[in-house]
Amino acid sequence: MTSLLSILNLVTFFPIVGVLIILFLPRNRHNAIRWTALIASVITFALSIKMLADFNINDPDLQMVQEVTWITVAGWDIKYHMGVDGLSLLLVLLTTLLTPISILSTWKAIEERVKEFMAFFLLLELGMVGVFLAQDLFLFYVFWEFTLVPMYFLIGIWGGPRRMYAAIKFFLYTMAGSILMLLAILWLGLNQGTFSIPELIQTGGIDPQLQIWLFLAFAAAFAIKVPMWPLHSWLPDAHVEAPTAGSVILAGVLLKMGTYGFLRFNIPMFPEASLKLAPWMALLAVIGILYGAAVSYAQRDVKKLVAYSSVSHLGFVMLGLFALNMQGIQGGILQMINHGLSTGALFLIVGFIYERRHTREMDDFGGLWKVMPVYAILTLIVTLSSMGLPGLNGFVGEFTILLGAFGSSPIGSRLYAGFAAAGVILAAIYMLYMFQKLFLGPLDKDENKGLKDLNWREIVILLPLLILIFWIGLYPKPFFELMGPSVQKVVDILQTAALAVH
């Protein structure tokens, strides 16, 4: 059932409406532009909620599928093929939630070229949602590359002092990985005769030796995006230079495109290779967890600290995915959401203080709890969520990931999960250190004595994230139920492959 105004199309392309309206607004009417962008993104969010309502949680397959032939070249059918399942649903919702939040966070922060900023931001949303919904490799690749463009400008125009350097690095780095993926996509199209992802998964039968090469080609693109250690070098630059809203989206959603890629493509399309390479992926993940945590601790710039913490957190996600069992993968997906919420919130929090003080050096702060109690408490909650305090969201993800990895037969050794669990200690060290440097101790800097606590707009920005932090921590059942059947399907594919190997 394909129709132009079907829900998936609307969720993906509604931001275009906002972009078009913004293009017609005079550039000096900043507030009108902001409100247009906000309303467009809120409507997109409402549309995604409608998609959630239509979603059948018992169906493991793609739902609300849109499929029309797009390009036919030399017998290849490239299709406009969209669909949603348990692997992507939550990520789409995360995207549509974080976009209006980010837009609201720019109210005071972005005063220059508001028009272009908002237009790029909505285009970015379009690209991200498209990435999560595309079910044709070619279409996916188009969306994947498309997201680079607005993000490039968001960093390059509205970023910090070294913005051009960071933007170019971000662009080139990601591009380099994508080219290998493009080659693999072309190979698949040529040899398997289709670009349809579900078809490719169902057909299977790729020679296991070849799978390894294809796996690696896709992994090149995804691992850079995640970023997996040691391919993370672009991340601190991008984060430090990006404007707050850009960082929120970068950490919250763009990085998840990498982990999602592994889950959607590498694991089900190349199950034999995944089984074989799982210990190696786990090794990189664990190194990332520990290395990211240690490097975070040594930072002096709050934003950089949070940026490096992403390397650690995404290591957990990767470890979970490549546990290749139910607990690991479900935990991994949930942790993608958790990281989006917690780290997104952390970047917003860093943005709040940066807007007030125009510095992010931790040594410039101390004792802020005294003047900004609301800010302190909310930061504390987010900090605790990020370091995996039980009862909050991060713990549910980390625990299930570690549990899955601990008992994973493809990973093969309990040591990986054991070392990863030590990352939980290190997380407490750098997170509490950050909290201490900002909020505890005496309020001894004169510049900080007159700081104003959060205003209503800022509290409203954080509120949805905080609600989800508690909700997922205390009652994650609905979230797991959404992904359960689809993850089961992936695990079944892996089991079949494992049997074939033996």
Partner 1 sequence: MASIEVGVNGGLFSFAPLIIFLPILGLLINIIVGRRFGERFTGAVACTAVGLSFAVAVLQFIALRGHPEGVNVMVADWITIGTLDVAWSLKIDTLSVAMVLMVTGVSTLIHIYAVGYMHEDVRFQGDPGRYTRFFVFFNLFVASMMVLVTANNFLMMFVGWEGVGLCSYLLIGFWFEKGEDGIGNAVAGKKAFITNRIGDFGFLIAMFLVFWQFGSLEFDQVFTSAQAAGAAVGGVATAITLFLLLGATGKSAQIPLFVWLPDAMAGPTPVSALIHAATMVTAGIYMIARNHVLFELAPFSSTMVAIVGGATALFAATIAVGQFDIKRVLAYSTISQLGFMVAAVGLGAYVAGMFHLVTHAFFKALLFLSAGSVIQGIEHGHHHIEHGKEATGPPFDPQDMRNMGGLRSKMKITFWVYLIGALTLSGIPPLAGFFSKDEILADASHANPAVYWLLAIAAFFTAFYMGRQILMVFFGKPRSEAAAHAMENPPVMTVPLIALASLSVLGGILNLPGVHSLTDWLHHTLEHVHAGEFNFIVAGFSTLLALLAITLAYLIYGRTKMKKGEPDPLRKILGPIFVGMHNKWWVDELYDLLIIRPYVALAAFFADIVDWRFWHDWFHDSVLARGFRGLAWWLSQAFDLRVIDGIANGLADVTKGVAARLRTLQTGYVRNYALSVFAGVILVLGYFLFR
> Under rule CB under 8 A, which residues in 228-257 are in contact with partner 1?
230, 233, 236-237
* Residue 412 interacting with partner 1 (CB under 8 A): no
User: Residues 82, 184, 384, 462: which binds partner 1 (CB under 8 A)?
Assistant: 384
Going residue by residue from 211 to 230, which x/- string records binding to partner 1, judged by CB under 8 A?
-------------------x
The answer to whether 405 and 320 have CB atoms below 8 angstroms apart is: yes
CA-atom Rg of the chain in angstroms: 22
State the nearest-atom distance from the C-beta of 254 to partner 1, in Å: 19
Token representation of residue 187: 């190979």
The answer to whether 402 and 421 have CB atoms below 8 angstroms apart is: yes
User: Residues 193, 198, 484, 485: which binds partner 1 (CB under 8 A)?
Assistant: 484
* Residue 26 interacting with partner 1 (CB under 8 A): yes
> Under rule CB under 8 A, which residues in 297-356 are in contact with partner 1?
297-299, 308, 325-327, 330-331
Helix (H), strand (E) at residue 65: strand 63-73
User: Residues 49, 52, 142, 149: which binds partner 1 (CB under 8 A)?
Assistant: 149
**Stretch of 239-247, 256-264, 269-277, 441-449 contacting partner 1, by CB under 8 A:** 441-449
Cα(117)–Cα(100) distance, rounded to whole angstroms?
Answer: 13
Looking up tokens 């493809």, which residue turns up?
Answer: 410
Cα(114)–Cα(36) distance, rounded to whole angstroms?
Answer: 11
Burial class (CB in 10 A: 0-12, 13-18, 19+), 117: buried
For partner 1, the closer of residues 41 and 330 by Cβ is 330
Cα(402)–Cα(415) distance, rounded to whole angstroms?
Answer: 11
State the nearest-atom distance from the C-beta of 127 to partner 1, in Å: 15
State the nearest-atom distance from the C-beta of 103 to partner 1, in Å: 18
DSSP state, residue 228: P
CA distances from 2 to 5, 47, 75, 349, 413 (A): 9, 17, 23, 42, 47
State the nearest-atom distance from the C-beta of 209 to partner 1, in Å: 30
Binding-site size for partner 1 (CB under 8 A) equals 79
The answer to whether 71 and 189 have CB atoms below 8 angstroms apart is: no
State the nearest-atom distance from the C-beta of 236 to partner 1, in Å: 8
First-to-final CA distance of the chain = 41
> Under rule CB under 8 A, which residues in 442-481 are in contact with partner 1?
442-444, 474-477, 480
For partner 1, the closer of residues 139 and 491 by Cβ is 491
> Under rule CB under 8 A, which residues in 113-142 are in contact with partner 1?
115-116, 119
Buried b (16+ CB within 10 A) or exposed e, 142-158: bbbbbbbebbbbbbbbb
State the nearest-atom distance from the C-beta of 421 to partner 1, in Å: 5
Helix (H), strand (E) at residue 79: strand 76-84
> Under rule CB under 8 A, which residues in 88-117 are in contact with partner 1?
115-116
> Under rule CB under 8 A, which residues in 415-434 are in contact with partner 1?
417-418, 421-422, 424-425, 428-429, 432-433
**Stretch of 133-141, 177-185, 362-370, 456-464 contacting partner 1, by CB under 8 A:** 362-370
* Residue 2 interacting with partner 1 (CB under 8 A): no
State the nearest-atom distance from the C-beta of 307 to partner 1, in Å: 11
> Under rule CB under 8 A, which residues in 385-404 are in contact with partner 1?
389-391, 396, 399-400, 402-403
CA distances from 253 to 54, 99, 177, 313, 481 (A): 23, 9, 18, 14, 22
Token representation of residue 381: 């909650």
State the nearest-atom distance from the C-beta of 208 to partner 1, in Å: 26
> Under rule CB under 8 A, which residues in 364-383 are in contact with partner 1?
367, 369-370
Token representation of residue 228: 């997996």
